[in-house]
Chains A and B, each alone.
Chain A
Amino acid sequence: MAIEVSSPDAAQVTEAIRVSVPEAGLRQDLRAVNIVWRRELIRFRNDRLRMVTSLVQPILFLFVLGTGLGSLAGHGLPHGIDFKTFIYPGVLAMSVLFTAIFAAASIVWDREFGFLREMLVAPVSRSALVIGKCLGGATVATFQGLVILALAGVAHVPYDLGLFLTVIGELLLLSFTLTAFGVMMAGRIKQMQAFMALTQMLVMPLFFLSGALYPLNGLPAWLTVLTRLDPLTYIVSPMRHAVFSHLNIPPQALHQIAPGVTWNGWEVPVGLSLGMVALMGAVLLGIAIVEFRRTE
C-alpha cells in the first residue's frame, strides 16, 4: 500500500479512473429499479430457510386440511371433485400472501439496519426505489407460487401451459399489489415488531374472507358483504375460474362450486375483477412513493 502511495504515478492512476456520473433520467432510474429488484432476488436465493418456512403453511393447508376436511366437505361438492382441488386456487393465493408481505417487511429491516439510508441518499427518484422493491417482492412471491403450482397433480389439476401462464400472471398481479400494500405500511410503521403484528392481524382475515376455502354463494348476508369487501376475493375468484375451466366439470356443477363474485346478483366479469386489483396495486404504489418522498 505505502509503496503505491509514494510512487510517482499513483496520481496518474487516480486520474485514469476518474468517474463521471451521468445526468439523472429515465435510464438512471431504470438501472436503479433493476438493482433494487435484483437485490431482493439475491437475498431470497441466499435465504433457504425463508423459502422453506413460507411454504409450510400452504402445503399444510393443501395436504392436511385438504385431506382431513375432504371426507366431510366432499359431500357438498359435485361428484368426482376432490376438496383438495377445490381449495387449490386458494392455497396458491396463500403461498404468495406471506412471502409478498415478508418482502415488504424487509424495508422495515432495511430501516432498522440502516441500509434504507443508503438508498434514500442516492440520486434516483423515490419511485424507482419503491417500484424496484415491489417488483422484487412480486417476483420472489411468485417463485413460491410456482412451487405450489408444481404440485398441481396432487390436487388433480392438469399440467396445462395456458392454465399455468394465466395463473402465473394472476399470481404476479396479486403479489405486486400485496407488496405495494406492505411497502406502503412500511413507510409508516418503523418498528419490525409492530409491522409484523399488524400484518399478521390483517393477513389472516383477508385470507379467510376471500372465499379461498369455500364458495361465495349461499353465504349469510353479513359474510356475503364482508367477502365482497375483501380485495383478495377479486383475485381468488379469477384464479378459481381459470383452474376449474380446465377441468372436465359439467357447466351446472361449475357454477355451483365456482360461482364468481356477484354484486347484488350481478356477476363481476373476470376482467373487471383483475382490473380492480391492478388499480388497487397502482394506488397503493402511488401512496408508497409519496410516503418515501417525505423527508424530516
Chain B
Amino acid sequence: MTTPTHHNPHKGVWSWLTTTDHKRIGLLYGVSALVFFLIGGSEALLIRLQLAAPDGTILSADAYNQMFTMHATTMVFLVIMPAAAAFTNYFLPILIGARDVAFPRLNALSYWIYIFGGLFLTISFFVGGAPDGGWFGYAPLSTQVTEIVRMDYWALGVQILGLASLLSAINFITTIFTMRAPGMTMMRMPVFAWMALVVAFLLLFSLPMIAVGLFEVFLDRNLGTLFFNAAAGGTPLLWQHLFWLFGHPEVYILILPAMGIVSEVLPVFSRKPLFGRSFVIFSGIAIGFMGFGVWAHHMFVAGLGPVAEATFALTTMFIAVPTGVKIFNWIGTIWGGSLRMKTPMLFSLGFIAMFVIGGLSGVTHSIVPADTQQTDTYYIVAHIHYVLFGGAVFGLFSGIYYWWPKVTGKLLSEGLGKLHFWVMFVGFNLAFAPMHILGLEGMPRRTYRYPKGLGFEFWNFISTVGAMTIAVSILVFLINAWRTRTHGEIAGNDPWDGRTLEWTISSPPPEHNFDVVPVVHSEDDFWHRKYTEDADGNAVAIPGGGAPLVAGPDDPPIHLPSPSFYPLLAAFGMFLVVLGLVYVPVGLILAGIGVVTVVWGFFGWSMEPLTREAH
C-alpha cells in the first residue's frame, strides 16, 4: 500500500471539462462569477453614466431598459448565487471533513447548466437585444410580445439557472446530512456550513414557485395561454405572488452565505469563538422560515387590501429580529478579542457596518404607509445595494481574501487588499447613500432619464462618481489577484491561525482533501487541537498542537469520483432545448436535438463506473 499522492495526473482543458472534483468545480464557479461580475459591473457603470446628468444621452431608453434588466439578472443569478456556490462547493466538504460532495457528477451538471444559462442570457445581446422587462419580469409587461424574443431569453434563461441551483441544493443537503466526518455533529458544524444548509432548503422550496411562473410567462408569450391576460380573465397579480414567493427567500439565499463567511472570519481574526454560536445558527434558520412569510411586502401598493398589508407589515418587522440578533452576536464576538485587522477582517467589519444600514432601511419599508412613498424609488435601490453589495459582496470579498491562500497556496497582498477595501468602502457609500435622498425626493427607479427642475442633479452626479470609484477598487483587486501568481507570499497550511478543518490540510488541498478522515471532538476542532484554556478562560497554546494527521497502514483506500464528460453533454443538450424553444415553432427541431442530447448524456452517465481509487 502506498501513501496517497497529491499529484494530479489530469491536466489541460479536457480535465477541467470533465472534472467532478468539488474543488475544481468550486474554482470554475468562482472564476465564472468573477467574469460575470465584470460584465454586470460594466452594465452598472453605463447606467450610472447615463444618469450622471439630467436628460442623459449615453444610452437610448431601449438600451437603458436592457442594461438595468441585465445588470440585476446578472448580479443575482450569475454573480452572487454562483459566487456563494463557489465557496460552498470548495469548502463545504472540507469544513465537514468529507472528501467530496454526495453527488459529484450532479455537481458538475449544476455548474455546466449554470455556465450555459449565463451564456444563453448573454448571447441575447447579439441577437436582437437583451431582456428589457426588468429582472422581476412583471406580467403583463413581460408577456406583452413587443420585441419578439427578448423576454423569452429571460424566462428560459432564469428557468435553467434555477434548475442548476435546485440540483446544487439537493446535492448540498445530502452532503451535509450524510457525509460529515465522525464526531462532526450538526451543532459542531461550522456556521458557514449551517448557512449553506439553510440556503439549500430555501432554494429547494422557493425555486419550484418561480419555475411555475416562468413557464406561465413562456406559455403566455408563445402559445397563447392567458394566465396573466386580464382582458381574458387572467390575473396579472398572480405573477407577482409567484415571483416574490421565490424572490424574497432569494434575498436570503443571496445574503446568508455571506453571513456564514463573516461568522467564520470574525472568530479567527478576533481569536475568540463566535459569541452565542447556537443563537447565530438558530437565527439563520429562523430567517429561513420567516423568509417565506414576507413576500407580499414587495406588493404594498399593488392593492392587496389593508388586512393583508397589515399582516405582511408585521411579519416583515419581525424578520428584523433574528437579523439583529446576528449583528449583536458578531459585535459580541469581536468584543474582548484581540483583533487582527487583516483584509478579510476589514471586509467582514465593513459587511456589518453596511448591513446595519440596509437592515434599518429595510425596517422602514415595513411601515406600509411610508413604503407607499419609498417603493419603486431610488430609496429601494439604495436599500438593496446596502444589503446585496454592502452586505453580500463585502462578505464574499471577505471570503475571497480569507480563503485565497488555502485555494492557491499564496497570500494576497495585504497592502493592496487594504487599498481595495478602503477605495471600495468609500466608493460604495458615495454611490449608494445618495440614492436614499434621491428616492425620498421623488426619483423613481428604472427611469432612463430625468428632467431638469426636479432637484435630482447633484446626488445623481455624486452617485456616478461613487460607481467609478468602485470600479477603481475592483481594478486594484484584479491587480492583487494577478500579482499573487508571481509575487504571492507562500501561505502554508494555516496562515491565519484558523479554527476549522480546512486549515489542517495543505494549501492548495490535495485532490482527496484529507489523508486521514478527521475525527471531530468539538466545534472549532482545529483550534482546540492547538489551544487550551487556562483557569481564567484565556487561550493557551498547546506545544506541538495541530500537527497534521498522517495516514497509517490500516487506513482504508480512498475512493474518488471518476471524471465524466456526460454532465457537460447533458447541460449542452439543455442549452439547445432552451435555444430552440425561443424560436418556436422552427426552433422545435433544435429543441428536439437538445432533448436527444440530454437523454444521451444521462444514459452515458448511468452506464459509467462510479469511482476510482486515488492510489
User: A and B from one assembly?
Assistant: no
A residues in contact (CB < 8 Å) with B:
none
Which residues does B use to contact A, with CB under 8 Å?
A: none
